Each structure stands twice: as structure tokens, then as C-alpha cells.
Amino acid sequence: MDLIFSDLSDIKKTKNYYESEYQKALKKQLKLLQDDLSHIEIKKNIFVDSYLRPIDTVSGDLYETIDLGDDVYLLYVIDAMGKGLSASFTAMQSSVCLKRSLSYDTKFDKTLKLFVDFFKTILLENEILCINIVQFDLKTNQLQMANFGMPQLLIEYEDKRVETSFANNAPITQYSDNVDIKKISIENFRKILLFSDGLNEVLTKENEQYDDELLRDDFVKSNTVKELLQLRADKVEKNSDDLTVIYVRKFKENSFIRKEFSAKSSMQEIIKSTQEVKEYLENLGVDRESLAEISFLTNELMVNALEHGNYGLSSKEKQWFIKKNSYSSYINDMETINFNKTIDTLLSQYFEDDTIIIKITITDCGNGFDVSSYFKSIAILGDERLNGRGIIMSKEFVDGIFYNEKGNSVSIIKTVYRGKQ
């Protein structure tokens, strides 16, 4: 009997060891990931968001979003062959090779040639890599794509046309050589979607394939990556593979209703401004549930802007003041010092066919923060390990949360009315 318990103890120790190593590998993978654009409003009314959910602790799925400067951006989604650590290692190697190629030459065709030449030398005999690499230029309104065995790229335009661009290259192997590049106009685009096959190669609750038609329909109806995944979740039983999505959304400047609010740097002023926003939304006819969520989150984000922006108060400092029962006196002192600084709120209402979208932008006078690092930390450590509850709750109650590059201006987006489904 003692021998049995000893064996079980050893098995448990071994299991815990490997789980710990997998968690370390996941953290390393996320730490290496360069994500310049997620949760960022890269240009006026152009937002980028992403989603990565491994089916196991680590995976062969990976994505990156890279700001090349001068309104040029590189996006890619990887799906490495295999499972677990092996696939994860291949994905990380490809990321390193691609960024190494970019360091030599940022011209898309030359970068791709260097990347393929680098990467094929480290692939095993029967190993392949699937990757969709996209570069888009907002000055020339042109997108270039090299899709190596990945699912299709979807682009929706303002005239409701959806262009589907399938893979134009075979998966990368030891013997890959030529690279085909497809050029696509993105003038008057509304949405761009890159994804791994975990998004569409899955069964619905009716035990049928979540096919291209269903995906296209959900893509057209959605306004953010969160909405897309919610629409898909209504149809799909459960995920069966690693899932990665990059979603680019541009809102047409058709906001007929715009209202500005401004608050001085005090808690009382924030309460007053929040109430003004709530009353204005109520007069617009926003439903009760949405009204409550937006009002609550507007208040939370304005408090964040006050404390961390205008007052420059760090999360650790705030916790220290609370622990010492001196937070209220500190806030009173800071109100006197910073009273002339403002927190500005801009409310916009957008009309997209039969859909009404509210966008609220809150801007403070602070130095901002590193948005990419913060959201990567959420992915690595989890929400419960981080402060900034206004940001975390916004992820739950609105459809999208996006910052400017500096990090001192935040926009929340919420669909408040949708007509025929």
C-alpha cells in the first residue's frame, strides 16, 4: 500500500512539474510577442484588436502587430504544425526570424524573402509552418498579403461588399522558395479580419460545420472582435483548437451627434460630469441596461484618469495611502494643486446601417502609460493580479476599449441598438 501511495505522489509531482514548465513557456511566448496595436486607436476612428486563446496551456498559434512607422503596419497570424511545446517553439522561432528579417529590410517583398530563407533552414524534414502576413499602408490605402496555407483574409467595405482572399502560397517547408504577394485596395474599408483555423474549423451546436457563410455573416454583423466572438459563441458548442484573431475596424465619420463634457480635477466634478453623460444618453433613448453599464464605466475611467493621469498616482501609491487611512486627505490636497487640469469627455453616436454605436472618449492631462505592456500583463498574469479595475471591467461590459498611442486617452465602444438580426 505504501508503494502505491509513493507512486501516486511521484506522478503528482511529475504532473505539477510539467504544468509549471508549460506555464513558464506560455509566459515566455507572450513576453516575446510584439503587439504594438492591440487596444489602440492607430488613426482617428481606426481601431485594432486581437484575441489569442490556446486550447492547451501553450500552442502553435501566435500573432503580432507591428507599427513600422509612417502609417504602415504589419500584422500576422501563425499556426505551427503540432501541439504543445514543440509547436510553441516553432511559432516563437518564426516570430524571431520575421523580426530579424524586418531589421534587414522593411520592404514587404524583401522582408518575406529573407524570412522564408531564414526559416526554412530550421524546419525539420516533414515540418511545415502556416502563416498569414499582411502589411497595410493607410497613406496609399493598399494592403499586401502573403498567406502561406492559412485561412482566408476577410475585408468588408463601406458599400457592404466583402472580399475574401484565400491562401496564395503553400505552407512553408524546407523546400519553399518563391513568394507570391497579393495587393488589395483598402480604400473605404470598414473591417479587416485575420484568423487561425480555430475560428472556423469547428462544429456548431447543431453538429454542423461553422462554415464560411456563417463566419462571413457574423463578421458583417460585428463591430469589434468581442462582438464577433459573442456571435460565434451563440452558434458553436466549444472551441476544439487554438484560436487567434486580429480585427481592424474603421468607423466612418458619420457621427451626427457629438457632445463634449469637461470636468475639473476633483471627485465632485467627476460625479457631476458622469451625471451629465448619463442624462444625455438617456435623452438619446439608450436602453436602461446599456445606460447603467456605460454610466458606471464612464465614472470608473474618469476616476482612473483623475488619479493616474492628472494626479500621477501609481497603483502602489494608492494602495499605500489606503492602507495608512490617508487616501482622502491625499485626494483633497491633490484637488487643490491640480484643480485647473481637466478631464475631457467626448460622446459620439455612430450609425451603421440598422445599428447604433456609442463611442465615449475620456482624455486626461497625464503622461499616459505603455498600453501594450499593460494588456500583455493581463494575458500573462490574469486580471486579478493587476490594478486598474475600470480598464478590466470595461473589457467585460463594453464591446471594445481602445487607447491613443500615448495612453492618456481611452475610448469605449458599445452597440446600443441593433435592428434586424
Read off the pLDDT band of 21 (50, 70, 90).
low
- 91 secondary structure, DSSP code: H
Read off the pLDDT band of 3 (50, 70, 90).
low
128: its cell numbers: 511545415
Q: What is the pLDDT of residue 385?
A: 46
Q: What's the rounded Cα separation, in Å, for the pair 78 and 117?
A: 17
Report the CATH fold assignment for 18-250: Phosphatase 2c; domain 1 (3.60.40)
Read off the pLDDT band of 226 (50, 70, 90).
very high
Q: What's the rounded Cα separation, in Å, for the pair 98 and 80?
A: 14
Q: What is the pLDDT of residue 28?
A: 67
**Helix/strand/coil for 312:** coil
Alpha-carbon separation of residue 185 from 160, 238, 241 (angstroms):
15, 35, 32
Read off the pLDDT band of 384 (50, 70, 90).
very low
Q: What's the rounded Cα separation, in Å, for the pair 32 and 55?
A: 20
Q: What is the pLDDT of residue 25?
A: 63
Alpha-carbon separation of residue 161 from 140, 186, 217, 353, 360 (angstroms):
20, 12, 12, 14, 28
Average pLDDT in the chain: 87
Comparing 222 with 124, the larger pLDDT belongs to 222
Read off the pLDDT band of 2 (50, 70, 90).
low
**Ramachandran class of 82: left when φ > 0, alpha when ψ lies in -120 to 50, beta otherwise:** left
Comparing 84 with 228, the larger pLDDT belongs to 228
CA dihedral 284, 289, 291, 292 (to 10 degrees): 160
Q: What is the pLDDT of residue 393?
A: 60
Percent of the residues in the chain that have a pLDDT greater than 90, as a whole number: 61
Q: DSSP letters along 210-236, please? A: --HHHHHHHHHH-SSHHHHHHHHHTTB
Q: Are 366 and 310 in contact (CB under 8 A)?
A: yes
Q: What is the pLDDT of residue 125?
A: 86
The whole-model pTM stands at 0.88
356: its cell numbers: 447604433
Q: Residue 270: is its pLDDT beyond 50?
A: yes
Q: What is the pLDDT of residue 23?
A: 62
87 φ, ψ to 5°? -65, -40
25-56 pLDDT, tens digit per residue, is 666 666 677 899 999 999 989 999 999 888 77
In the chain, domain spans: 18-250, 257-418
96: its cell numbers: 524571431
Q: What is the pLDDT of residue 298?
A: 92
Q: What is the pLDDT of residue 232?
A: 96
298-331 pLDDT, tens digit per residue, is 999 999 999 999 999 888 898 898 888 999 999 9
Region 261-283 average pLDDT: 94
Read off the pLDDT band of 386 (50, 70, 90).
very low
Using the structure block, give the residue that is written with the C-alpha cell 510539467.
18
Percent of the residues in the chain that have a pLDDT greater than 70, as a whole number: 86
155-166 pLDDT, tens digit per residue, is 999 999 999 999
Least confident of 67-81, 187-201, 365-379: 365-379
Q: What is the pLDDT of residue 86?
A: 76
324: its cell numbers: 495608512
Region 175-184 average pLDDT: 95
Comparing 396 with 71, the larger pLDDT belongs to 71
CA-nearest of 24, 32, 26, 23 to 372 is 32
CATH node for 257-418: 3.30.565.10
CA dihedral 224, 225, 226, 228 (to 10 degrees): 90
Q: Residue 91: is its pLDDT beyond 60?
A: yes
Alpha carbon of residue 349 to chain centroid = 22
